[in-house]
Amino acid sequence: MMMGALKPRPDILSIEPYKGGESTVAGIDRVIKLSSNESALGPGPRAIATIEAAAREAHRYPDGECLALRRAIGRRYGLDPERIVCGAGSDEIITLLTRAYSGPGDEVLYSEHGFLMYAISARTVGAQPVAARERGLRADVDALLAKAGPRTKVLFLANPNNPTGSYLGKDEVARLHAGLPAGALLVIDAAYAEYVTRNDYDAGAEFVEANGNVVMTRTFSKIYGLAGLRLGWAYCPPAVADVLNRLRNPFNVSHVAQAAGVAALEDIAHVDAARANNDVWLPWVTAELEKLGLKVAPSVGNFVLVRFPDSPERNADAANAFLCARGIIPRKMGVYKLPHSLRITVGREAEMRALVSALAEFMA
Ligand SMILES: Cc1ncc(COP(=O)(O)O)c(C=O)c1O
């Protein structure tokens, strides 16, 4: 008997699949990958040793509750482990929160150049993604609040934001939260929190503790150098933690990732080294690129958004091709509606010097 053609829900075919940063260039063996905001230093020695040892237990199911890891996160950040939920990257937490709190007919709000996964996860549940315009490549509290209404179920604020590198201070986040309609969840995505050195910045734990509708998400993919293992977490009001624990898969975080996460948290020296690398090379690369006449958005993360001239010989596409031909891979920004810019991760000294000399040649 002939069956009708299979049809997924229509929202699903409107999803543009997420594409990570490129990691290879045809014909070049050793590349400098600056396309995914990964750690300049990679995993620390304690995490590597733990991962090797954990391989011997690969036949065992992991602890479905991530207890040791949640306790380690709690110790490191002074948080209540009962309110922590771990996931396969903070991407998984973003998707779970969207699934739990929004659906068809609802809206998921974020700022214009916000992290791509917010719109994608909204579409996966049939909710409408809504973007509020930014001002000077910064989330704009008034524009977000103007778009927030009774249908708004989740507001994602990447703080700092990828790819712009900008952040909102604690007072602005408080004003955003105070203006939200009842029944909306504020998700503060603090994937880059460990790099921020501004004293008006707060990653969001206090907001979570003071309110029933704020969640903070964090990741081991950035300063901890474990992006390949997929490990993230959320700090939640108890009721939200309960919801996520019902919704998530039973063994959503691998045994290796849990063990590596604990080791990475305890390797304070390695995290300090990664932060110190950023503290030196973020301002350096910003200043050097500005000297070449490029516009660099002020960043508090481990990456910079660089605006190129409009001329066909000097534009972002030409710069991308020029860099890739030299084995240096930035991230193109068309999908973020910033086609004139490239996003470049802060790497190690040699990588930053190679980048700047290549761009000096490009701009000459
Ligand atoms: C703002 C932001 N949030 C979340 C993520 C997802 O991180 P992961 O799923 O690796 O934890 C990223 C990754 O680039 C990001 O830039």
Note down pLDDT in tens along the chain; length 364 residues.
566 789 998 889 989 899 999 999 999 999 999 999 999 999 999 999 999 999 999 999 999 999 999 999 999 999 999 999 999 999 999 999 999 999 999 999 999 999 999 999 999 999 999 999 999 999 999 999 999 999 999 999 999 999 999 999 999 999 999 999 989 999 999 999 999 999 999 999 999 999 999 999 999 999 999 999 999 999 999 999 999 999 999 999 999 999 999 999 999 999 999 999 999 999 999 999 999 999 999 999 999 999 999 999 999 999 999 999 999 999 999 999 999 999 999 999 999 999 999 999 999 9
3-class secondary-structure state, position 120:
helix
Alpha helix locations (H) across the chain? 10-13, 45-54, 67-77, 89-101, 117-124, 141-147, 170-179, 205-210, 238-247, 255-266, 268-291, 316-325, 349-363
Specify the DSSP element, H or E, that contains 305.
strand 303-307
The pair of three-digit structure tokens given for residue 55, joined into one six-digit string: 């391989």
**How much is the pLDDT for 2?**
60
CA torsion angle 255 93 187 264 (round to 10): 20
Point out the ligand 1 atom lying closest to the alpha carbon of residue 88: 9
CA–CA dist 126, 124 (Å, integer): 6
Strands 185-189 and 128-132 turn out to be: unpaired
* Residues forming a β-bridge with 304: 344
**How much is the pLDDT for 262?**
98
Point out the ligand 1 atom lying closest to the alpha carbon of residue 92: 9
The residues, any chain, with a CB within 8 Å of residue 42's CB and separated by 6 or more, are 225
Q: Would you say the pTM of this structure is higher than 0.85?
A: yes
Output the CA 317–ligand 1 centroid distance in Å.
24
Residue whose Cα lies nearest atom 2 of ligand 1: it is 191
* Residues forming a β-bridge with 345: 303
CA–CA dist 37, 50 (Å, integer): 24
Output the CA 60–ligand 1 centroid distance in Å.
28
| Residues whose beta carbon lies within 6 Å of some atom of ligand 1 | 37, 89-91, 115, 158, 162, 189, 191, 219, 221, 227, 232
Output the CA 281–ligand 1 centroid distance in Å.
21
Contact 244, 23 (CB under 8 A): no
For residue 95, the Cα-to-chain-centroid distance in whole angstroms is 13
Output the CA 72–ligand 1 centroid distance in Å.
21
User: Within the chain, what is the greatest distance between any pair of CA atoms?
Assistant: 70
Output the CA 357–ligand 1 centroid distance in Å.
29
Give the residue, out of 92, 189, 224, 343, with the most ligand 1 atoms within 8 A of its beta carbon, to mutate for a pocket test. Answer: 189
Contact 127, 108 (CB under 8 A): yes
Output the CA 216–ligand 1 centroid distance in Å.
13
Contact 348, 336 (CB under 8 A): no
Output the CA 154–ligand 1 centroid distance in Å.
17
**How much is the pLDDT for 1?**
54
Point out the ligand 1 atom lying closest to the alpha carbon of residue 160: 1
